[in-house]
Amino acid sequence: MCGIIGYVGGKKAAPILLKGLQRLEYRGYDSSGIAVLNGSIRVTKTCGKVATLCEKVSENNMPDGVIGIGHTRWATHGAPSDINSHPHLSADGRFCIVHNGIIENFAELKADLTAHGIPFKSETDSEVIAQLVQYLYDGDMISTLRNVMERLSGSYAVGVLCADSPSTLYAIRKDNPLVVGLGQNENFIASDFAAALEHTHNFVQLNDYEIAQLTARAVTFFDRNGKSVEKTPYRVDWDISLAEKGGYPHFMLKEIYEQPKAIKDTVSARIKGDNIVLDRIEFSASNVNSINRINIIGCGSAYHAGIVGKHFIEKYCRISVNCELASEYIYSNPITDNRTLTVVISQSGETADSLAALRLAKKLGSHTIAIVNVLHSAIAREADDVLYTYAGPEIAVATTKGYTTQVAALYLIGLKIAKVKHIISDARYSELLNEIARLPEKVSEILKDTDKIKQYAQSYADHKCVFFIGRGTDYAASLEGALKLKEISYIHAEAYAAGELKHGTISLIENGTVTLALVTQEDLYAKMLSNIKAVQSRGGSVLAISSQKNMQIGKESDGLLAIPDCDDDVTPVLTAVVLQLFAYYIAAKRECDIDKPRNLAKSVTVE
Ligand code: F6R
């Protein structure tokens, strides 16, 4: 996730900015840069670590200015490279910006500005902001920034320097965090406290569509109409080490809480009115009608996301979908040809088995789409098409936001194909599109109150074995729930298709055995109830996970965790969040090394 630091005061800005960027390194990034204003604006930026930036800054003899901005970038539009790194200067060199977020209408803005003769240097969505500030500048930065915000759609936290206002730093934001740090004769902007906590503990939150104007001695806020806004500062007494995880004890928990934003970023940029626009992937009627099979391929959680996708796509597209483990696919003499669409899913984009599967599918003549989080990773580069999940960097080994954004991306692909094939009614299409768009809000609802999940989790922390059961898409979600639990808590966990228990595994149920039953599919309630009773009658206890509309299931079980009501076809995103928290709190109680479970690596680049 990108990071921002900005400084205005009486000290040299460059060292303060560099230190701030080091404090933001924990967020994950691929490049970094700073800009200092001293008469003119000087930028130094580079692909790679902040340490490399520090070397470059001393080689470049950065000016002694007392005002500047800095950035760590996590690439979303344009490969990680020196040119694509922030800060970005306007074409005339008078304005300079750093940006976190995604500018959804950057292509239109860029075309428009280019037509007005403004040249662009980078492939980023962010540069458009610098050029837009230059284009709209009317001599007054507040009115200029108001106009800029009117034109931008998407999410942004932006720091701005203007050579005509050499002692003033500006910031704007929408849907992306930005705080203003208040010091003694110095002030800061930062994407999170960590970057400025060393200098001040007093902060003010910038709200959506607000503008902050900072000098060394004063900070003024304006709303989108240019009216000044009074704000009350608050004190943050965090220890710096806590601040580096954004206040969370583990990256995994932080990333669980980042899911509303991650899903929103992945989905909302692709929903244009009633239309789903999947970047440059062409889903023409002739392309879609020529597909007679879809293979979804991945490893671990990515494979589990694929199984959720299989249920959704088969239901709405009526195309046969095989979900394959990459390591099995490559040695299976797979049925793949030019009428097969292959979807390879990978958070890291570097998983060796998945990359090998992608190469094999291409060799066999299949069109390939990669669902990948890390920009320009090997799988993203080699696939015919790529649909990025905008989850931001995932640092905890166990994936959370990576998985839920993959599922969301698969829903979009499924719904798009169904629409192009004309086999979904307009009403159902709109209903599902609306449900997908509302997933972030429903995930937030779960995250607002996690006490009950924590209580159940802690009460099960001493168990040796936990079963997960479900049917249909709930079974797919159970697989991911069991993986989360076993990898971070080291408790043996197994997921079973609920109807399959009686064919063998039920022999393992004895007094006290815990089973989590996922019961979110209305047409399968009755069947699941029989499975729950079968477990209970052998002495097992059942914790049900169901939607609020199905409270009856709670009465029939030994406990209930309710997810917000939503369409049955998209419940796996919500149950995933509950199961992630369940696994997390068990592992925390067992004092496991949650972010780095034993024997596991974040990116598995060997076969
Ligand atoms: C589990 C987990 C792994 C990954 C798998 C694939 O929490 O993180 O199972 O899902 O190693 O990794 P990517 O998605 O990077 O290909």
DSSP symbols for 11-45: S-HHHHHHHHHHHTGGG--SEEEEEEEESEEEEEE
Q: By alpha-carbon position, which residue is closest to atom 7 of ligand 1?
A: 398
Residue percentage of the chain with pLDDT more than 70 = 99
Q: Read off φ and ψ for residue 603, nearest 5 degrees.
A: -125, 120
Q: What is the pLDDT of residues 35-48, one digit of tens each?
A: 999 999 999 999 99
Asked about 2 being catalytic, the answer comes back as yes
Which residues form ligand 1's pocket by a CB distance below 6 Å?
A: 299-302, 346-348, 351, 354, 398-399, 483, 487, 603-604
Q: Ligand 1 mean position to 202 CA, how many Å?
A: 39
The DSSP code for 207 is: P
The token pair at 542 is 């059942």
Which stretch of DSSP H or E encloses residue 324?
Answer: strand 320-325
pLDDT at 376: 79
pLDDT at 253: 97
Question: Which of 353, 382, 399 to mutate to test ligand 1, by most ligand atoms within 8 A of the CB atom?
Answer: 399
Largest CA distance in the chain: 79
Q: By alpha-carbon position, which residue is closest to atom 11 of ligand 1?
A: 300
Q: Are 234 and 243 in contact (CB under 8 A)?
A: no
Instruction: Give which of 604, 570, 370, 359 is closest to 487, Cα–Cα.
Output: 604
Atom of ligand 1 nearest to the CA of 400: 7
Tokens 């074995």 belong to residue? 465
What's the predicted TM-score (pTM) here?
Answer: 0.83
Let me know if 137 is exposed, middle or buried by CB neighbors in 10 A (0-12, 13-18, 19+): buried
Q: Which of 231, 315, 589, 602 is catalytic?
A: 602
pLDDT at 396: 92
pLDDT at 247: 83
Give the mean model confidence (pLDDT) for residues 269-294: 94
* Strand pairing report for 154-162 and 385-388: unpaired
Give the separation between CA 380 and CA 385, rounded to whole angstroms. Answer: 8
Q: Ligand 1 mean position to 349 CA, how many Å?
A: 10
Instruction: Give which of 174, 176, 172, 204 is closest to 188, Cα–Cα.
Output: 204
Q: Ligand 1 mean position to 101 CA, how many Å?
A: 25
Question: Which of 296, 327, 351 to mutate to test ligand 1, by most ligand atoms within 8 A of the CB atom?
Answer: 351
Give the mean model confidence (pLDDT) for residues 105-114: 96
Q: What is the pLDDT of residues 154-183, one digit of tens each?
A: 989 999 999 999 999 999 999 888 999 999
Asked about 11 being catalytic, the answer comes back as no
Q: By alpha-carbon position, which residue is closest to atom 5 of ligand 1?
A: 300
pLDDT at 242: 65
Q: Ligand 1 mean position to 299 CA, how many Å?
A: 6
Cα–Cα distances in angstroms (integers) from residue 298 to residues 371, 376, 379, 435, in the given order: 10, 18, 11, 26
Q: By alpha-carbon position, which residue is closest to atom 3 of ligand 1?
A: 300
Give the separation between CA 411 and CA 288, rounded to whole angstroms. Answer: 16
Q: Which residues contact 153 (CB under 8 A, 6 or more apart)?
A: 103, 104, 105
Which stretch of DSSP H or E encloses residue 228?
Answer: strand 228-229
Q: Which residues contact 537 (CB under 8 A, 6 or more apart)?
A: none
Instruction: Give which of 167, 237, 239, 122 is closest to 7, Cα–Cα.
Output: 167
pLDDT at 50: 94
Atom of ligand 1 nearest to the CA of 301: 10
Q: What is the pLDDT of residues 122-148, one digit of tens each?
A: 999 999 999 999 999 999 999 999 999
**236 falls in which pLDDT band (50, 70, 90)?**
confident
Atom of ligand 1 nearest to the CA of 304: 10
Instruction: Give which of 202, 196, 151, 195 is closest to 26, Cα–Cα.
Output: 195
Question: Which of 348, 486, 579, 596 to mutate to test ligand 1, by most ligand atoms within 8 A of the CB atom?
Answer: 348
Q: What is the pLDDT of residues 524-539, one digit of tens each?
A: 999 999 999 999 999 9
pLDDT at 601: 76
pLDDT at 560: 95
pLDDT tops 90 at residue 550: no
Fill in the amino acid letter for 231.
Answer: K
Give the separation between CA 437 and CA 126, rounded to whole angstroms. Answer: 24
Whether the bond into 87 is cis, omega within 30 of 0: yes
Query: Across the strands, what pairs with 561?
Result: 545
Give the separation between CA 426 and CA 74, rounded to whole angstroms. Answer: 37
Q: Which of 2, 96, 317, 566 is catalytic?
A: 2
Q: Are 403 and 574 in contact (CB under 8 A)?
A: no
The token pair at 390 is 């905008």
Q: By alpha-carbon position, which residue is closest to atom 9 of ligand 1?
A: 300
Q: By alpha-carbon position, which residue is closest to atom 6 of ligand 1?
A: 299
Question: Which of 301, 372, 373 to mutate to test ligand 1, by most ligand atoms within 8 A of the CB atom?
Answer: 301
Q: What is the pLDDT of residues 470-486, one digit of tens each?
A: 999 999 999 999 999 99
Q: Ligand 1 mean position to 300 CA, how many Å?
A: 5
**Lowest-confidence pick of 6-20, 225-239, 253-267, 424-438:** 225-239
Residue percentage of the chain with pLDDT more than 90 = 84
Contacts 24+ apart (CB under 8 A), 121-125: 121/83, 121/88, 122/78, 122/83, 122/84, 122/88, 123/77, 123/78, 123/79, 123/83, 123/84, 124/77, 124/78, 124/84, 124/86, 124/88, 125/76, 125/77, 125/154
Better-predicted residue by pLDDT, 374 or 370: 370
What's the whole-number average pLDDT of the chain?
Answer: 94
